[in-house]
Amino acid sequence: MSDNNQNNNGTPSGETPNANAGTPNDGTGGDPSIEKLVSQRVAEALAPIKEKLDSAYSARDEANAKLAKLELERKEADLKRLEEEGKHLEAANRRLAEEQARSKALEEQNINLSRDVNVRGVLAGYAFKNERAAEIAFKEVVGQLTRNEQGIWVHKSGVSVKDFMEAFSKDEEQSFLFKPKASSGNGSSNTNSNTAESTGKKSLFKMSQAEVLKLAGEGKL
């Protein structure tokens, strides 16, 4: 009879029921529904921590704002006291010094902002592996810049930001930051390197960053 050849669950006799039957699978061996549940539980567990951190940062910013306000009020009170004591010149000199300090801080902020905009504009022409890699490159480049006599941001060697970035991108030590260049498939990607070697010249890819910077300064890149 057919009942003897089937188990109670409809599986043919002698075969083991598949425990994963009917369970969706993403093809990688994991259960999407379980992964989604785990992610949801993790997010729920982290939510209170994130809320506390946000609250702590907000409290910190509020405290800093209050301290700044108190400091401003204290200085203003000191100035008024000096004026009441007839020390108008001293009070005027203090006001002038504070105004100059504020102007200098604002000027430095604007200068640094122009530098950052310039660097990010140059970096936009390169393909980084991810945002973190781009940020590492940004900090590395900015950390090596200085303003020349004309007030222009340049590399400390004197070459322009653009030339420095060109050398930076060719430095093997920084290669982990960039996406690998696509090959044309016909072997032409190594043409420059092979030509350099065949003519006895050193390939840019085998030069140190200092050597490339020197070439950039001489306009020979």
Contact 171, 209 (CB under 8 A): yes
Q: Along the 221 residues of the chain, how does pLDDT read in single tens digits?
A: 444 444 455 445 544 444 444 444 444 455 668 878 887 888 788 888 878 888 888 888 888 888 888 888 888 898 889 888 888 899 889 889 988 998 999 999 999 999 999 999 999 999 999 999 999 999 999 999 999 989 899 998 889 999 999 999 988 888 899 988 765 555 444 433 333 333 345 555 456 666 766 776 666 65
Residue at 40: amino acid letter: Q
pLDDT for res 219? 65
Please report, for residues 54, 59, 63, 156, the alpha-carbon distance to residue 217 in angstroms, rounded to integers and kept in the order given.
48, 50, 49, 12
CA-wise closest residue to 201 among 215, 180, 181: 215
Contact 112, 161 (CB under 8 A): no
For the chain, the farthest-separated pair of C-alpha atoms sits apart, in whole angstroms, at 118
Mind giving me the DSSP string for 108-169?
A: HHHHHHHHHHHHHHHHTTS-BSSHHHHHHHHHHHHTTEEE-TTS-EEETTS-BHHHHHHHHH
Residue ranges covered by each domain of the chain: 114-180+200-221
Whole-model pTM: value is 0.49
CA 19/CA 16 separation, integer angstroms: 9
Give me the residues paired with residue 160 across strands: 154
CA 41/CA 153 separation, integer angstroms: 49
Rounding to the nearest 10 degrees, give the CA dihedral for residues 65, 70, 75, 81: 160
pLDDT for res 178? 93
The dihedral of CA 127, 131, 137, 138: what is its sign? positive
In this structure, what token pair is assigned to residue 190? Answer: 């190594």
pLDDT for res 60? 86
